Amino acid sequence: MNRPQVYAIEPWQLRETHLDLRLQARSESLFSLSNGHLGMRGNLDEGYPHALPGTYLNSFYELRPLPYAEGGYGYPESGQTIVNVTDGKVIRLLVDDEPFDVRDGRLLRHERVLDLRDGVLRREVEWRSPAGSVIRVRSTRLVSLTHPSTAAIAYEVEPVDAPVRVIVQSELVANEELPGPLRDPRVSAVLRAPLVPELSRGDGTGALLMHVTRESGLHLAAAMDHIVTGPPELRCTSEAHEDLARTTVVCRLAPGQRLRLVKLLAYSWSERRSRAALRDRVAAALAGARYEGWDGLLRAQRATLDTFWDSADVEVDGDAEVQQAVRLALFHVLQAGAQSHGRPIAAKGLTGPGYDGHVFWDTERFVLPVLTAIRPEAAEQALRWRHSTLGLARERAATLGWAGAAFPWRTIRGQECSGYWPAGTAALHVGADIADAVVRYVDATADTVFERDVGVDLLVETARLWASFGHHDRDGAFHLDGVTGPDEYTAIADDNVYTNLMARRNLTAAADAVERHPDRADALGVSDTEITAWRAAAAAMSIPYDDQLGVHPQVHGFTLRREWDFGGTRPDEYPLLLHFPYLDLYRSQVVKQADLVLALHWCGDAFSPGEKARDFAYYEQRTVRDSSLSACAQAVVAAEVGHLELAHDYIGEAVLTDLYDLHRNTRDGLHIASLAGAWLSLVAGLGGMRDHHGVLSFAPRLPRGIERLAFSLLWRGLRLRVTIRPHEAVYSLRGADGGDAKLELWHHGTPLLLTTDAAVSRPIPPVVPLTPEPSQPAGRGPVRRRTITTRPGATRDLRP
């Protein structure tokens, strides 16, 4: 059956060629705009039809009960869920008293474009009403990347062939009805209408609504103002009620005339500030937006993105689909952290309510290494947020009987919010992931002030956790027992290789940091004895190895477990966690997502080339990729061990996770870590970039389907540009403010001194894989990019 094509493959935009309501939920996520503080899903301007309305403020949440069939010591008592706050996107249109609705009348044209260089969502519609009137609507939506509290919408209406009376109702709507039943009535009662009215005001061209959450007690202010131009006889009034504020504009338009609204929006929230303070903050934000004006906001957005793309762009010649997708991915990664200002970067960013709006370990493991390379100030802010929750992490560790800090597996505010203890309590690797992000940020930026003021605290308290939690056996080896690594199908096991290697790096980094900053060591009470214990634990860390197979068991004894019957598993039984008991998964050699393979990337200096090749081949045959976090890691290591075509396949899966809704939950928001993984799969994968111990190195190679790969990154204030072709790599350097600079790096194991004077070219040696290309479990291999031809201007079918 032929399916209509929906999205054009274009290098700098995502263009929806027509409206397909069957794809609406996914489109709302893909067309989301955010800035790390404020996020708006790509809902239609008129508010309906919608799949999932959403406007979010970073860390604005409601408390909810966590149900347990049977309680246990140390279980979290309540969860935190992101709140759909007051919706300011809504602009309703009536044409001769008939409401504009894409389901009624006839939609003559409908196109939306997410512009990755201008940072706006554009829409153009031609619609014939049931009565026969034809109108054209153009809108442009913007969430400011420079002013965190500000969003704006330019909305234009014009008749096409006959005079019409037009009524535009621009609204603020609180407590929108959300689709889908909540099975727990306690949760439903909390989240159905979480916002309690405090103040409403409407006059002139604007309005204000203020609310407070029922349980968490967070105060919210949302305000709007309008700049209206049109026929001289137009009328504009505003009104406000508890959960609705509306500015109404009425006029008559003849063909050739236009009504234009510029809607300015401002949001603010606080745990502590008074209503007056919040009211004044949104009023100031609106005044600032009026001062900038629509054109000024557009110019600032474009200037911010010009600067961003200068250091972040990835150019892919030969695979136009991957080219578009990696830019879309980077745009959303930027949006997730651009103006977070000491707030977290959640798994879905601010694109949807998936995972309750929680932040997980994958922020530090996947997102922050990318932001460190392309937007280091955003990485710094995310780490400062972790530091702000250090007290809560210390309390959690104390509750569990450990020293140091136990950071939560999933949270919004900093408290553990997982009722599933094999992850929420046992996935301790999150502490080492945070420590690793600190080290990589400091190595890349040389930000010693951050290391002293923030980094040392995080390194010390996570190191203390490992020293407290682990133990030396009678032979002196150091073990971390009963943990859950990144693979959630292998839980509560001993000596997870990824966790142990990351903990070893954590312990050593903490010891090094306190020796560089003895004043901070004194303030934290770190003694020489404690430092010696950290180094001893790191040196004695147990790293399991199966001598018979010549591979590393993911956890102790993993290679002795029963094999999973992949041949007997139907395609509709994936993801496995929805069709099989966890007990069966836990005792089998089946891997949800890259775990040992993740260690091959991030702790690659701990493995020989032969070990990497054998380990990768072994785990390829057992990894089912029921997680979006897997494909990018597999791409990186596939490229390193020489399976370049397979790496290309995994790159395609990583970058297209949300465009193709590969995990069937893009409706709930984008997978920010997988989007960051798009950059990792290309730069760390095909570019071979590594930064072990602060040493920058590259080992670039290209598959047959990619003719050229070029990317930039920031390293210690310098902009490094790498251009890769099949037989050579070219490195160039630009200093801060155009000044002279030099940088030492490695190319395929050979040192290279790069200066700003001239680019340097180096040959790329031929690749010789040490093992045959491995197979994957039946039906779980990636789609082969080598069989796909994409070109600019083509369209893709994104229906399920």
Kind plus residue range of the DSSP H or E element containing 208: strand 206-213
Choose among 624, 623, 673, 683: nearest CA to 651. 683
Rounded to a whole number, what is the distance in angstroms from the first to the last CA of the chain? 14
Q: How far apart are CA 60 and CA 731, in angstroms?
A: 44
Strand, coil or helix: what is 486? coil
Beta bridge partners of 639: none
Residues 6+ apart with CB under 8 A from 32: 39, 40, 41, 42, 54, 332, 335, 349, 350, 351, 352, 669, 670
Task: Give CA 662 to chain center in angstroms.
Answer: 16
Q: Which amino acid, residue 212? A: V
Q: How far apart are CA 21 and CA 182, in angstroms?
A: 24
Angle between helices 644-655 and 631-640 (to 10 degrees): 160
CA distances from 194 to 141, 189, 277 (A): 27, 9, 22
The pair phi, psi for residue 112, each rounded to 5°, is -125, 145
Q: Which two tokens stand for residue 409?
A: 């597996």
Choose among 556, 722, 704: nearest CA to 643. 704
Sign of the alpha-carbon dihedral angle for 88, 93, 99, 100:
negative
Residues 6+ apart with CB under 8 A from 464: 403, 404, 405, 530
Look up tokens 């609406």; give the residue: 24
Instruction: Identify whether the C-beta of residue 459 lies closer than 8 Å to the C-beta of residue 502.
Output: no
Instruction: Identify whether the C-beta of residue 46 lies closer than 8 Å to the C-beta of residue 101.
Output: yes
Q: How far apart are CA 211 and CA 219, in angstroms?
A: 6
Task: Give CA 135 to chain center in angstroms.
Answer: 38
Choose among 47, 524, 78: nearest CA to 246. 47
Rg (C-alpha) for the chain, rounded Å, is: 27
Instruction: Let me know how long the chain is.
Output: 800
The pair phi, psi for residue 7, each rounded to 5°, is -115, 130
Alpha helix (H) ranges present in 695-791? Answer: none
Angle between helices 672-680 and 320-337 (to 10 degrees): 130
DSSP string, 640-707: HTT-HHHHHHHHHHHHTTTTTTTTS-GGG---HHHHHHHHHIIIIIIS--B-GGG--EE-----TT-S
Classify burial at 789, counting beta carbons within 10 Å of its beta carbon; exposed 0-12, middle 13-18, buried 19 or more: exposed
Residues tagged active-site: 488
Sign of the alpha-carbon dihedral angle for 544, 654, 371, 385:
negative
Instruction: Identify whether the C-beta of residue 90 lies closer than 8 Å to the C-beta of residue 141.
Output: no
CA distances from 636 to 351, 418, 593, 623, 662 (A): 27, 30, 14, 15, 19
Beta bridge partners of 483: 493
